[in-house]
Structure 1
């Protein structure tokens, strides 16, 4: 745990007592804050009280006495409307912050030499975070990984010299971290997402941009307009971001040329690594993730042999192009993390023909952005609320059935693949999970379980070959 000493002796309110909120409450108490915590869920309040966290209805406290309101990331700050605690804080002039902000303050105060790598992006940030942490560990570094992936950031070990922090940051967390100042900030990409929380794509992109705005060194994906404009804006400020691209050969930066990653420094260009044969990093989306990680490692002084060894040994993450089982000549792949069309595109692009399980809670734009990949789909098995919407989008271009539920889709896809002599069955939903599952992890686990329960299934680990 990282004790939050920057609020020692000060009155602080915290709202939201889920996993990260409860961890934040304990970190504040450990650092000597005078804390009052609350949640809209009576069960969460009772659980926190049982763990020694002081609780009270925040509507009954004196807000002008507070030094800060700490919100859990999932609590609405501005859209669709501010949570009632945010309204009370704004009316009283109380700063509203989150756990990443508390971490940033503690690092500045008590471990400013500890490298802090922060990663954001609509897609790819979890893989990039895990890959960077893996490569640094392989190089013998003391590494702490957390934030929006795995452990809540304040449950990590305290900052000390030489300890490297690799922290995934969601837009929710960045919005609550006004003084975020990573040693290296990574901005991968922006596509429409979380607009119910941020209002517009422009506001969403501006929040994402804050992560690199406060960084000492910026790595920016320039394959979308938002990234290109952000990189140009930093140059106008006199900074030199590292640009990365999967679609263009850059004059300066890192770019993908087939499976090769090329480092360009003006006229000097050389292949710094190849992803050929790295199953956990197949596809252009993973080339972008790899380039971001390579950029971090180069900046931190790792030699190129160590960088290549780290890439080759990366095991990948669950629910991201994860192969879960074979039945004869049929391979089943769990890409449940693909919660929008843009995230599903890399998986569909990776195979010539696929039986595609898709659907869930639809997001803006549906699957129109995937129309150029429809020819790769042998048949679609549509589930959840999005099923009729996706069926309309597929029209007569792709054979499909409305399976409704994931278990039915798995059985029918497996049957059809067996009759055809094998192939790829891919769960890459292009949707949120919340209509039928608590989160994408639960959805992916359900897919894995359904596949491995099929007659003749041979569970396998690792990444897609």
Structure 2
């Protein structure tokens, strides 16, 4: 826990008693603040009260008594309309902030030199966060990882000059953190997302940019135009900037280069310093870092870890041992040439696109509750599909797309269990050389057959492990 001693003696209203809200209440109380909390959910209120947190009806409270409103990131700040607690706070002249802001205020008050890496972006931020933390740990650093991934930021150990915090930040969290000023700030990429919460794409981008604007070192992806403009503005400020790319060579910065070696494509990470390029890592054979999207993730992680003093050799060694995140292009094992990939986190076509670029012979399991647009945007990757297996409510929609295109053989499997058995059978009989992928990348939400993507991915993993001859990843 990080006790928020800089709020000692202050009276604080807190709304939202989920995981991060409870962690925030505990940290404030441990630091000496007086906390009055509320949540619309009765179960959450009862759980907080059971811990001794003062649960009060904030709707009837005298807001002039509060110094701050601490808002959970899932609660609307501005769009589609400000939450009622936000309206009451503004009317009383009370600041509205979140847990990331509390962390940075505590750091400023007690350990201003404590190293902190913050990562944001529309896609890839979780993998990059986990990769940075892993590389630093492998190099012997004391690392605390959390924020929008895993552990709430205030449940982590306190900032210290000898400890590195690696924090994933969502746009919701950044919007509630005006003092956000990391040692290294990473902006991965920017595409339209969460517009229901930010109003416009421009507003969404401006919020993301705050993370790198105030960073000591800004690491910015330049593979999309909005992020490229962020990099230009950062360069104009004269402050330290490292450009990264997963797609194109750079005159300065860190980029991924793809070369052919004995008929196999290999991705190398290249660092350019003072106009001189050098290969600093080779991602060939690292299953957890397959694909062009992971090339950008690795470039960002290299830039951040190098900025914190690691050598290229230390970073490359960390890449080689990175296990990956569950449900995100997770290599769970193989049977001979057939590799089983759990990409259950791919709940829309944009996410699945990354998986379809990573292999050439794919036995693709897809379906569930379809998102708008279905899989129409994925037609260019259909030549990589050896056969498709449709599950769940989207089966009719996706079958119609395949029928219209005419290039993909498919079967209506109905359930994941049937689909995996069929895909494994067909993949094992497939001729040729090199890896063949049985890929769960549904391009759909899970809610028609599973409560969430984690349960769906766990089911895929369990079914694969039960197949005869299956060898889990990481075993000899």
TM-score where L is the length of structure 1:
0.92
**2:458 matches 1:445:** yes
Greater shift after overlay, 42-51 or 69-78?
69-78
Q: Sort the Cα spacing of 1:226 and 1:414 in 2 relative to 1 into closer, same or farther, 3 A.
A: same
1:188-227 mapped onto 2 (5 Å cutoff): 188-227=188-227
Give the corresponding residue for 2:384. 376
Is contact 1:113–1:162 with CA below 8 Å preserved after alignment? no
In the alignment, which of 400, 414, 419 is matched to residue 410 of structure 2?
Answer: 400
The superposition leaves residues 131-152 of structure 1 with CA deviations (integer Å, 9 ceiling, x where unpaired) of 1111111222111111111211
Cα distance between partner residues in 2 of 1:48 and 1:201 = 36
Give the corresponding residue for 2:68. 68
Give the corresponding residue for 1:273. 281
**2:321 matches 1:308:** no
Give 5+ residue unaligned stretches, structure 1: none
Give the corresponding residue for 2:440. 427
Greater shift after overlay, 143-152 or 231-240?
231-240
Displacement of 1:58 in angstroms is: 1.4
Displacement of 1:439 in angstroms is: 3.5
Displacement of 1:363 in angstroms is: 4.0
Displacement of 1:282 in angstroms is: 1.8
Q: Alignment partner of 2:76: what SS?
A: coil
TM-score where L is the length of structure 2:
0.90
The superposition leaves residues 114-134 of structure 1 with CA deviations (integer Å, 9 ceiling, x where unpaired) of 100001122211111111111
Give the corresponding residue for 1:410. 420
Give the corresponding residue for 1:230. 230
Q: Sort the Cα spacing of 1:423 and 1:134 in 2 relative to 1 into closer, same or farther, 3 A.
A: closer
Cα distance between partner residues in 1 of 2:86 and 2:416 = 38
Is contact 2:334–2:473 with CA below 8 Å preserved after alignment? no
The alignment yields a C-alpha RMSD, in angstroms, of 2.4
Displacement of 1:434 in angstroms is: 4.5
Cα distance between partner residues in 2 of 1:322 and 1:332 = 8
Greater shift after overlay, 113-122 or 377-386?
377-386
1:178-193 mapped onto 2 (5 Å cutoff): 178-193=178-193
1:283-432 mapped onto 2 (5 Å cutoff): 283-326=291-334, 330-394=338-402, 395=404, 396-417=406-427, 420=430, 423-432=436-445
Displacement of 1:302 in angstroms is: 1.5
Displacement of 1:330 in angstroms is: 3.8
Is contact 2:115–2:160 with CA below 8 Å preserved after alignment? no
Is contact 1:104–1:181 with CA below 8 Å preserved after alignment? yes
Is contact 1:192–1:364 with CA below 8 Å preserved after alignment? no
The superposition leaves residues 82-131 of structure 1 with CA deviations (integer Å, 9 ceiling, x where unpaired) of 33323333333322211111111111111111100001122211111111
Cα distance between partner residues in 2 of 1:437 and 1:243 = 40
Q: Alignment partner of 2:14: what SS?
A: strand
Q: Alignment partner of 1:241: what SS?
A: strand
Displacement of 1:423 in angstroms is: 4.1
The superposition leaves residues 180-233 of structure 1 with CA deviations (integer Å, 9 ceiling, x where unpaired) of 111100011122333333333333222222211121110011001111011011
Displacement of 1:37 in angstroms is: 1.0
Structure 1 residue runs of 4+, over 6 Å off?
A: none
Give 5+ residue unaligned stretches, structure 2: 259-266
Greater shift after overlay, 391-400 or 332-341?
391-400
Is contact 1:323–1:462 with CA below 8 Å preserved after alignment? no
